Structure 1
Amino acid sequence: MPLNILIVGCSIAGPALATFLQLAPFAEDDKPRITVLERSPAVRPQGQNVDIRGVGVTLLDKLGITAAVKASTTGEAGVQWVTSDNYVWCEFDSANDTETQRHNPTSDIEILRGRMAQILWRRSQTVTEDKAVEYIFGDYLDDIQQEDDKVTVHFARSGLHRTFDLVVGADGLQSTTRSTVWGPTAEATVVHPLGMYAAFFSMPKDAKQGDNDYRRSYHTHGRRMLSIRPDQQNGRSTALLTIVNETDPRFDAVAKARSSVDSQKALVNEYFADAGWQALRLLQEMHATDDFYYSMVAQVKMPRWSKGRVVLLGDAAHCASHLSGMGTTLALLGAYSLAGALSAHPNDTDTAFSAYEEAMRPHVDKAQKIMPGLMRIFAPETAWGVWLIDTTIRFLVWTRVFTLLMRFKGADTEPDALPDYGFAQPPEYKE
């Protein structure tokens, strides 16, 4: 009997898994039936820039979406560090740095998370001709019960009960699948906040304010950083405001409240109103935007990613935080590994889940390693600390140490590390 699979979450990992399951070498009579559930009424446009690195580029090829993704990149040419009066005091031109390219042959691809999710969602519906994936938008699960070899779930808004052979939680850092199945006690031990909070949104591009093809970053005392980045696809700019704060409990509270956008914006406004540079412009645009996104920065560390016939994928299982730059690549690799494991062991989910974890753990462990003291080093509290960090950044760029670091970056995600599960190669996705 074919597996009847429910995937919770339609961001990166969820639709990628839906596609890889269709490409996996299941026997014709064992092709899984796939349902994808998304809480939002449509694919969410929110989310900051994401990178696809190393083996992630190979996975784009296997999904047949390389051309579509490369045509949708943000066009970011490099990084400029600026002063409060918008003077560029340091620049790192990653796009034209030949030494960096030589040591990074699978050049990083930068794309907005919402655009990447949209491509993956559409890809999953076009990879075969039989429309093998059912999508349900605007609903969520409020109960998950396991009995023997089945999982019965309850849809909160429709009121329906449905039964599946397995459930995949691909619903992000604040996964309701994880909290429902593992419980609140486990939830308190597996989510590790890093004390940083981030607000992201898009806004009109303004060349008079200096908006260009570079990411412009400004950091100031109070452990605050503001960045403006290009979005060439939409002719706009995007803003990212981050703060490290471990004393005000409101940051954590509004991050966990899904519907408190007004409270989130008010808190960001309170802390950034006196930040300088273009803070007032950014806050004005923040209040006007309709794609505001706010989140805590945290990691998820679990001893096992499955419980019975429920398995976690992507950030729900092993969020490494955006500081790693590896979240999207890990999500794609996890989807590939889980689909491959299920196709190899369609009648033994315990063995499949163990094989999936064995394949993924080394990559996750490396991605989650953060330099001790990173938050305090790069988010100084005082003006003196800001000066010290500015001087350090200038030195790293001037001495080409950034290039040296990139020689080692991604060593754990080289294309030859990708196992061959015998997936079919789909035609290139075209919009």
Structure 2
Amino acid sequence: MSKTVTKVPRILIVGGGYVGLYTALRLQRRLRRDEAAITVIDPQSYMTYQPFLPEAAAGNLSPRHVVVPLRRVLRRVEVLNGRAVRIDHAARTVEFEPNAGPNREIGYDVLVMAAGSVSRTLPVPGLAEWGIGFKTVGEAIHLRNHVLQQLDTADSTTDADERRKALTFVFVGAGFAGVEAIAELEDMARDACALYPSIRPEDLRFHLVEASDRILPEVGPEMGRWALDQLRGRGVEIRLGTRLESAVDQHIRLSDGTAFDAGTLVWTAGVKPSPVVAASDLPTDGKGRVVADEYLRVAGHDDAYAAGDNAAVPDLTAPGEFCAPNAQHAVRQTKVLGDNIVARLRGKEPKPYRHAYVGSVAGLGLHMGVANVYGVKVRGVLAWFLHRTYHLSRVPTVNRKTRVMADWTLSLFFRREFVSLGGLEQPRLPFEMAANPQFEDGRLRRVS
């Protein structure tokens, strides 16, 4: 007698960031193999712990230690590398574009929208050509290499204008990403000056451009002002109420009339939901986010869920408001989201997501930070310690926690490395130059 095979429902998670990884981990731990099949779709094979990107860019952490390999931790989950380009929830299908090969449709029974966000850019002339983002580990390491290359250029040239341009760095956006990035890289560049005989720390020009009237709004006005004073005391030129108007040919023009050349332009001025949200038939709000209810279900659907940056989740602790798009909410939402999917599969009642925001911590370079936790305001070394301790507790897996701790421990005894490995971004260039008959001795041969 043949045995009847019962098809288990497929849970499809679009995105392998905070929400995708933590939700998959929760489901992997709570569901039996015969209860559901879990699939995660993401272009990368790893999750990036973004709060550690500034430290990776500054050389305090190894880039490999701020990412978590999906296949290593999600042993019972199917991981597909590629993009979800279209979602037809009415038909319960996703059009999947793998990193190689033809597109195909993937069916599902339960959908989790965890696609996250991308950089929100503006039509500023020259920004697309010269700007550097700061949302991925690749961008963080590229920025580190780029900043060190600018120091190499300045130390090697006799052209005063080129030297001034190379030593000028512009960061646009003064939220967490912008402030932590400029603080860590200014700290690194200042230390690196000891290796360059012709460059003094006061030769460096760091500009932070912010359209609003304050920095770090997440830590409150008082701590934001203190952070502003600290950065200005280190020589960072902070321009509030100012916008970037043009960056054509690396010539920076600001809305306050200031104009100068800069070899580095970093854009951290906000994020927007992943484009796949707009390429779906799910309900969205005015900001392009998937509309969710307090159970993290997509509005009007009991088989679709959303959380994190790409979701508008009501904040039950502040009626009428929505949860802020940050890691604190994203990680906590995944526990409720995962448990509610388990409850649905087992015929039980879901639970609402409720979490009162406890505050924020921010690093301002080595041994300097600000924090506002449960209304308690802390600054300096203690805040820097709280910043590291909190984020260490949030990094998934004991493996990654141990590696991060090892990096920090070694930094107590050895100075960080100031080596630019920009060649890693074009590893085949030397071979292509050798194999191309138009190149001689590393230079393009003129053809008459």
Shorter-chain TM-score: which interval? Answer: 0.3 to 0.5
**TM-score, with length taken from structure 1:** 0.43
**TM-score, with length taken from structure 2:** 0.41
